[in-house]
Amino acid sequence: MRASRMMTLLLQLQVRGQASARELARLLEVSERTVQRDVEALVGAGIPVRSARGPAGGYRLDRGYRTRLTGVGLDEAGALAFLGLAGPAEQLGLGELLEGARVKVWASLTGEARERAGRTAERFHLDPSRWYGTPEPVPCLPQLADAVWRDRRVRLDYVRDGRATSREVDPLGLVLAAGDWYLVARRDGQRRTYRVSRVRAVAPLDEPVTRPPGFDLAGSWAEARRALEDEAVAVEVTVRVLPRALPRLRRLVPVPGKDRVSVTATGEVELTVPFENVGWAVSALLSLGSAVEVLTPPELRTRVAEEARAVADRYSDVRPERGAAPEIGRQRSDS
């Protein structure tokens, strides 16, 4: 344990150039006194660690000294796929391994290569989470990740449409999409996709998973997503909509209808957009408030009007205050 910690300390100095005892203690999750003892042990082993006192002081390596002990372990190598995605790595229980691998990779770079890597990190950031939302709870994610890693069949307790079911599946991979985790698996010889937040329990089975020859997780996910997005729509709706509601309307309609919604219109527009079903169309369009009016089909216009009247009845005791009503759907950023 101490040897691993001292190696991490040494690599941090190699990457940072200089670090205070407080910074190193925080990174290593130990006391400053422990950092001091580790530094003394490194010096005793012939490593040229120098110390400087004062507000700008700390520990540093002699100029030109570099350790060659930057080999990445097998577990760390597996975590490298999550470089730049520290949050998902933490959810999978790989946070510490990823940090160790990152420090070793960084320490192995020299001169222009390290400068280029630093410039890239300063200019590009990957954020897989969606706006104005918190990730769904995924308490079973570590168990599923373990099953995927070990190629073990599992029994899932899964909730769909308010009903709990149990099923045995062959886990093939986990996918993070727009902040939500999905399990790609095989069941009865067919590919299935399960939302991890709906998994209530995972029971590992003493049976191995037989992965399909040449299985490509990224390709399989793209195929599943494309099939879902290309499903035939159930209803085409013509609406009259104010320009401020167009960005939100574009997010609400299925992929085949997004190119019909311009977000740069400057006046009220009429357009026809698709929805997967009437129920979702009613909910989605009501969420836009008075910024949208359903024109056709007549039965949908009637349902929206009835729902709007029912909402108004619930608030019949509320008297409007003087002054302009707040706009619905106003965007808080340029996104």
Q: Beta 58-61 vs 163-177: how paired, if at all? A: unpaired
Return the pLDDT at 77.
47
pLDDT in tens, 24-79: 888 888 898 888 888 888 887 777 888 877 766 788 887 666 665 555 454 544 44
Tokens matching residue 150: 């070990």
In this structure, CATH architecture of domain 141-229: Roll (2.30)
CATH of domain 2-123: 1.10.10.10
Helix then strand then coil, % of the chain, to nearest 5: 45, 25, 35
Q: Would you list the domain boundaries of the chain?
A: 2-123, 141-229, 235-314
pTM reported for the whole predicted model = 0.54
Confidence band for 131, pLDDT divided at 50, 70 and 90: low
Statement: residue 19 has pLDDT above 70: yes
User: Alpha-carbon distance 186 to 224, whole Å?
Assistant: 13
pLDDT recorded at residue 333: 47
169-188 pLDDT, tens digit each: 999 999 888 778 899 999 98
Question: b/e for 49-63, b at 16 or more Cβ within 10 A?
Answer: beeeeeeeebbbbee
pLDDT per residue over 281-306, tens digit each?
999 999 999 999 999 999 999 999 99
